Amino acid sequence: MKNKNIAFLAAENPEALEAKRELEARYDHVPPEEADIIIALGGDGFMLHTLHEHKAENVAFYGMNRGSIGFLMNAYELDSIPDRLARAEAVRLKPLLMVATRADGSVESAPAINEVSLLRQIQQAAKIRISIDGVVRLEEMICDGVLVSTPAGSTAYNLSAHGPIVPVGSDILCLTPISAFRPRRWRGALLPHSAKITFEILEAEKRPVSACADYTEVRDVVRVDVTEDQGASVTMLFDPEHALEERIVKEQFEP
């Protein structure tokens, strides 16, 4: 991967900032807006922020772990960065698009690389109707919330909510309840990536709900539509020995 312009970005923690100083002292680099590859130094949260911040710039993203969680990150090493980038395997991620309608009628859209989640705002459980491609599949779910996850996000909040882990190339979305009270035995669904998922909030005034696309929150929603954003994608680079597909398989066998 010769003649590629590289930019370094770091999270606001001492380890990441020190790594950025060391790397910039050793390697030629450019500002992010001039880069072909952005190297993000931090954890998964910082990588997610970097993907959102720079996804429109037609660059590839290569993460190195200088944070607390690094599922989306490669191991940190100061040496041989050009060689590692030349050997790296590319994974293309398709984000979700959330369109949230508030109780006052206003609408806000936001992309999500990991997941779109709906959560109750107060102590009252939420009541949510779920439709897939215009067909009501669950008339009423009483719950703390519900989420739709991309394959890349299936190991994040989705996994914490006891949702399934799915391979990145599977073209599947995970629909996972969060602390569902009724129906008790519903554990979620796997849906084709082309599905349009609609959530309608029942008794919205009494049981207010917020919707989050990754870290973009919209409060007091009455309806949320979620689809794969066909017009957008991000490219991530992984060391062959730490390929994302292998991590997803390995994660399912961790004790």
User: Residue 60: what pLDDT?
Assistant: 95
- For residues 213 and 119, state if they share a domain: yes
Query: 225 catalytic, yes or no?
Result: no
Question: Helix-strand-coil percent breakdown of the chain, rounded to 5?
Answer: 25, 40, 35
- For residues 146 and 179, state if they share a domain: yes
- For residues 122 and 219, state if they share a domain: yes
Residues ≥6 apart with Cβ < 8 Å to 181:
125, 142, 143
Q: Is residue 56 part of a domain?
A: yes
- For residues 112 and 214, state if they share a domain: yes
Q: Is residue 243 part of a domain?
A: yes
User: Residue 144: what pLDDT?
Assistant: 97
Q: What is the pTM of this model?
A: 0.85
| Predicted confidence (pLDDT) per residue in 45-63, tens digit | 899 999 999 987 789 999 9
CATH code: domain of residue 102: 2.60.200.30
| Predicted confidence (pLDDT) per residue in 78-117, tens digit | 999 999 999 998 988 899 999 999 999 999 999 999 999 9
- For residues 85 and 103, state if they share a domain: no
How many domains does the chain fold into?
Answer: 2
Q: Is residue 1 part of a domain?
A: no
- For residues 181 and 238, state if they share a domain: no
- For residues 148 and 84, state if they share a domain: no
- For residues 119 and 213, state if they share a domain: yes
> How far apart, in whole angstroms, are the C-alpha atoms of residue 237 and residue 93?
11
Binned at pLDDT 50, 70 and 90, residue 255 comes out as low
- For residues 243 and 209, state if they share a domain: no
What residue numbers bound the domain in which 57 lies?
6-94+233-251
Of 234, 255, 249, 254, nearest to 91 by C-alpha is 234
For residue 12, give the DSSP letter. S
- For residues 135 and 193, state if they share a domain: yes
- For residues 142 and 90, state if they share a domain: no
- For residues 86 and 143, state if they share a domain: no
Choose the catalytic residue: 28, 36, 44, 83: 44
CATH code: domain of residue 59: 3.40.50.10330
